[in-house]
Amino acid sequence: MIKHVLAICMAVLLTGCADRDLMPILPDAVQVGTPLTVFATTTREMEPDGTFGFGRSDQLQMMELTVTIPPTHSPGELSYRHKNPDPHKNFAIAAEHPVASVAELRSRFIREQQENNWPLREVTIFVHGYNSTHPETAYRAAQMAHDVDLPGSLVMYSWPSRGRAFGYAYDIDSMLFARDGLEETIRRVKRAGAQRIILVAHSMGSALTMEMLRQADLHDPGWAARTLNGGVMLISPDLDVDLFESQMADLRTVPQPFAVMVSEKDRILNISGRLRGTNQGERLGNIKSADRLEKWPIEVIDLTAFNADAASGHFVAATSPSLLAVLRSAGNVSRVFGPVDPSLLQQILPQSQKVVNTQGKLMIERQQRRENR
């Protein structure tokens, strides 16, 4: 335990010298890297220098970002610099344009759909976790979308995280503050003509997602399932299991498909649990047995086998090259959150991929052979 705390302290010292809110705009980056459009909504307060920091704002702002993926990028990697990024080696922001209205958002969704010949106006909304800044969230969202060749438009909800390792308590308050902004984001995306909406959340963002779904459904029963017709995916959720079940019980209908991605080797969640006084350090995202959750219409997917090559044990789904290779090789990501099928895994994995059902979890086994990267 002491070793993990010391590691966090070192991370604070290393990041304290850099302003992680900086988001330099490099227009020429599109000549070097692969451009990817990321729409953003945020309840962060804009600073005098134009950056979006950790201050909280009652106003939900919208923008369109062009993120470039460096030519040296490998699946699962995320290389960026807060100052003087090199688009040959780092993710970069090539453009930032405000989106003034829902009508303007609709026109941009239509433009992107037409440019890419997507048959459906599909939108994936990504909600980041604790200790994340605005530009870092843009880079991560772009990396994930690029590495799995995600179809449809991508929207990130940037809530006012402190963006510091010692900002956990601040982030809990900000997460609760950000519920209305996330609900409004989804409502605007729907009004902008999205035909299918998928909600993907990581870590503390999963707690935010569940709180938002609960409050929206209490106000308008059935809203969650009707609106998120593409499904919900919680990745490494930093969420108490009892609380999760209480939130689920308040939903008239659970959106489908509904997936929870976990890893028993998630050390960050182990620390989170112990900080709350639990001896086992268990959170929803590192749950060892999901038998108690079998009454809910959800799939708990265990990614523990892919921790070995993941750059982050707390974000295996985005940082394991072997897992990303499996997902991409399926060539079927467009159906991940399509019309409900018997199993989410049947939609996104190759038929040859071995999956074992144990302790209420679907465990994806890692192939022994070397995966193509």
pLDDT recorded at residue 363: 73
- Give all strands (DSSP E) within the chain, no chain letters: 34-46, 52-69, 92-98, 122-127, 153-158, 196-202, 231-235, 258-262, 299-302, 355-358, 361-364
For residues 237 and 16, give the distance between their C-alpha atoms in angstroms, rounded to a whole number. 26
From edge to edge, which strands make up the β-sheet containing 52-69?
A: 92-98, 52-69, 34-46, 153-158, 122-127, 196-202, 231-235, 258-262, 299-302, 361-364, 355-358
> How far apart, in whole angstroms, are the C-alpha atoms of residue 130 and residue 128?
7
pTM assigned to the model? 0.89
- pLDDT of res. 5: 43
Q: Output the CA angle 215-39-72, nearest 5 degrees.
A: 125
Using CA atoms, how far apart are residues 199 and 213, in angstroms rounded to an integer? 11
Cross-strand bridge partners of residue 36: 67
Beta strands in 99-247 (DSSP E): 122-127, 153-158, 196-202, 231-235
Q: What is the model's pLDDT at position 275?
A: 81
Residues paired with 25 in a beta bridge: 93
Q: Minimal CA–CA distance to 209: which of 163, 166, 170, 259? A: 259
Work out the number of other CB atoms within 10 angstroms of the CB of residue 1: 9
Amino acid identity of residue 277, one-letter, is: G
pLDDT tens digit sequence for 108-141? 999 999 999 999 999 999 999 999 999 999 999 9
User: Angle between the 241-249 and 204-219 helix axes, to the nearest 10 degrees?
Assistant: 20
Q: Per the omega criterion (within 30 degrees of 0), is the bond before 75 cis?
A: no
- Locus of tokens 């503390």: 204
- pLDDT at position 325 is 80
In contact, 69 and 93? CB cutoff 8 Å: no
pLDDT at 356: 67
Over the stretch 205-222, which tens digit does the pLDDT of each residue have? 999 999 999 999 999 999
Residue 168 and residue 271 in contact, taking contact as beta carbons nearer than 8 Å: no
Compute, in degrees rounded to 10, the torsion defined by CA atoms 237, 238, 242, 247.
Answer: -60
Tokens 């997602």, located at residue = 209
In this predicted structure, what is the pLDDT of residue 57? 97
| CA dist., res. 217 & res. 6, Å (int) | 42
Q: How far apart are the first and last CA of the chain?
A: 35
Residues of the chain with pLDDT under 50: 1-17, 332-342, 369-373
**In this predicted structure, what is the pLDDT of residue 288?**
92
